[in-house]
Amino acid sequence: MQLMVIGLGQCGSHIADEFARMNKRARLRRRLQVLTGTYAVNTDLADLSSLSSIKADYHHRILIGGRKTAGHGVGKMNDLGAQIAREDADKIIDAIRGTPQFHESDAFLLIAGAAGGTGSGALPVISQIIKERYLDRPLYNLIVLPFEHEEHTEERTVYNTATCLKSCSTVADAIFLVDNQRYVDKDASSGSNLDWINQQTVEPFYNILCAGEEKRARHLGTRVLDAGDVRQTLSGWTIIGHGSTKLPSLRLAFWKSSSFREKSATTDRGIEAIDKAISELSFECNPADAARALYLIAAPTKEMSLSLIKEVGEHMKAIAPDAVIREGDYPRMRSSIDISVILSELRDVEKVKRYYAEATGLASRLEQRRQRVDAKLETIDDAGKDVPSLIETGSPNYPSEDQSPPDDALAT
């Protein structure tokens, strides 16, 4: 499957940059192209300059809202971010329309952080514009939810997140939810944490995108997972995960055992990998709420037995009993069993409902607070109304209307 990736705002742009890095890895190691184009869109010039893998020309790093923000962002005001995105959408459309491999794109993936200003506001607007122009291609959103401390200390964070989620849910064909808090390493620095979270966000897509683009026969599975399977799986609220189990290198290199113990151990490693994938899902939920699911087993050819595929499939069915499940195998890995999992069309997403409930009360509280501030400012102005000012305001103090201005004023 080949995606066209567009990152919006600081968070979205850096994750898009990680997707570009993943595409380079696929080209170097597997000689596959999984992205047709990668773009970063932001109102902040410095953030665009900090990217490393997306091309540095103005077609791929797109600055919007230059007249209103002077390249310094929108300060978490996602309504301003939406307005700027609407006004400068033609820059983005022109860029993706000029992509040489545009016609090879199977879908669009637009990425943003829900808590910010530019990404949160621009994501639903740009999604709607692209969706209206290209009806034949599905459009997916990847939305990154804020850290817990951001929710507790910045009220605007909850409001931005709720409005972004609500707006995108009416436009996108599917929304990948990524909870920042799931991947936090509390002992690591802030920069290391963000880099790690971006890597963990992108990694589950790697094998899924590569499997359908594989051309060499020895790497084609008995059940190839291609773009059609992914399209039929993705719908509504969606989460993704990835798990891996290392294999003994000595056994892989020299011999294939017929021992029942080794056979059982291989199956156990597959179950361990899928358990890891479920535990590392991008968002906490109950897998039983999924109406659609997909999993891909990537392992060395010698390890890709029918018993492994059968056991993993039964385990997946037990986890998501009501889901329509699609599966695939990908004989690609050398020393591990990797399993990627997608759960889609989730019917109960408690955290999203909580954002909606909190934002409903927050909107009225923010308005009341603004009114109180305005009232206090008016009180200060009233207290100083009789104090002379050294700054001229308004027009010169001409005589009343029934008198003529002085001659020197007319001469001027």
| Residue 245: strand pairing partners | 337
pLDDT score of 216 more than 80: yes
Q: Is 337 part of a structural domain of the chain?
A: yes
Map residue 391 onto helix, strand or coil.
Answer: coil
Q: How confident is the model at residue 255 (pLDDT cuts 50, 70, 90)?
A: very low
Q: What is the pLDDT of residue 252?
A: 45
pLDDT score of 129 more than 80: yes
| Residue 44: strand pairing partners | 72
CA angle 110/5/159 to nearest 5° reads 20
Mean pLDDT of the chain: 86
Encoded tokens for 99: 């992509």
255 plus 166 within the same structural domain: no
What type of residue is 205? F
28 plus 162 within the same structural domain: yes
Q: What is the pLDDT of residue 253?
A: 43
108 plus 178 within the same structural domain: yes
Encoded tokens for 384: 């100083």
Region 60-83 average pLDDT? 89
146 plus 14 within the same structural domain: yes
Range of the domain at 246: 238-346
CATH number at residue 318: 3.30.1330.20
Q: Is 152 part of a structural domain of the chain?
A: yes
pLDDT digits 0-9 by tens, 340-354: 999 999 998 999 999
Q: What is the pLDDT of residue 361?
A: 76
95 plus 166 within the same structural domain: yes
Please give the Cα distance from 237 to 294 (Å, whole number). Answer: 14
* 139-145 and 236-246 strand pairing: unpaired
191 plus 246 within the same structural domain: no
Please give the Cα distance from 268 to 57 (Å, whole number). Answer: 49
Please give the Cα distance from 14 to 11 (Å, whole number). Answer: 5
174 plus 260 within the same structural domain: no
Contact (Cβ atoms closer than 8 angstroms) between residue 140 and residue 235 = no
Q: What is the pLDDT of residue 395?
A: 53
Q: What is the pLDDT of residue 218?
A: 84
Region 21-42 average pLDDT? 95
Q: What is the pLDDT of residue 15?
A: 96
Q: Given CA atoms 247, 251, 253, 256 in this order, what sign does their dihedral have? A: negative
pLDDT score of 2 more than 50: yes
In 65-186, DSSP assigns E strands to 107-113, 139-145, 174-179
Residue 138 CB neighbour total at 10 angstroms: 18
Q: What is the pLDDT of residue 336?
A: 87
187 plus 287 within the same structural domain: no
Q: What is the pLDDT of residue 92?
A: 95
Q: How confident is the model at residue 254 (pLDDT cuts 50, 70, 90)?
A: very low
60 plus 180 within the same structural domain: yes
Contact (Cβ atoms closer than 8 angstroms) between residue 328 and residue 359 = no
pLDDT score of 186 more than 90: no
Contact (Cβ atoms closer than 8 angstroms) between residue 299 and residue 271 = no
Q: How confident is the model at residue 408 (pLDDT cuts 50, 70, 90)?
A: low
Region 201-216 average pLDDT? 92
Q: What is the pLDDT of residue 231?
A: 95
pLDDT digits 0-9 by tens, 219-238: 888 888 989 999 999 999 99
pLDDT digits 0-9 by tens, 386-403: 888 787 765 555 555 555
Q: Is 232 part of a structural domain of the chain?
A: no
Sequence-ordered alpha helix ranges (H) in 235-349? 249-254, 260-279, 306-319
Q: How confident is the model at residue 68 (pLDDT cuts 50, 70, 90)?
A: confident
Q: Is 376 part of a structural domain of the chain?
A: no
188 plus 284 within the same structural domain: no
Residue 384 CB neighbour total at 10 angstroms: 9
Output DSSP code: residue 199.
H
Cβ within 8 Å of residue 331, ≥6 positions away? 218, 219, 220, 221, 298, 299, 300, 301, 304
Encoded tokens for 139: 């459009």
Domain total of the chain: 2
134 plus 40 within the same structural domain: yes
pTM listed for this prediction: 0.86
Q: Domain boundary residue among 314, 330, 346? A: 346
18 plus 76 within the same structural domain: yes
CA angle 280/283/289 to nearest 5° reads 105
pLDDT score of 184 more than 90: no
Q: How confident is the model at residue 188 (pLDDT cuts 50, 70, 90)?
A: low
Q: Is 302 part of a structural domain of the chain?
A: yes
pLDDT digits 0-9 by tens, 82-128: 999 999 999 999 999 999 999 999 999 999 999 989 999 999 999 99
Share of residues in the chain with pLDDT > 90 (%): 53
Q: What is the pLDDT of residue 365?
A: 74
pLDDT digits 0-9 by tens, 311-332: 888 989 999 999 999 999 999 8
Q: What is the SS3 assignment for 378-389?
A: HHHHHHCCCCCC
Contact (Cβ atoms closer than 8 angstroms) between residue 159 and residue 151 = no
16, 106, 160, 331 from 54: Cα distances, Å: 8, 20, 27, 30
Q: Is 71 part of a structural domain of the chain?
A: yes
Q: Is 366 part of a structural domain of the chain?
A: no
Q: How confident is the model at residue 301 (pLDDT cuts 50, 70, 90)?
A: confident
Q: What is the pLDDT of residue 250?
A: 44
Encoded tokens for 152: 């507790």
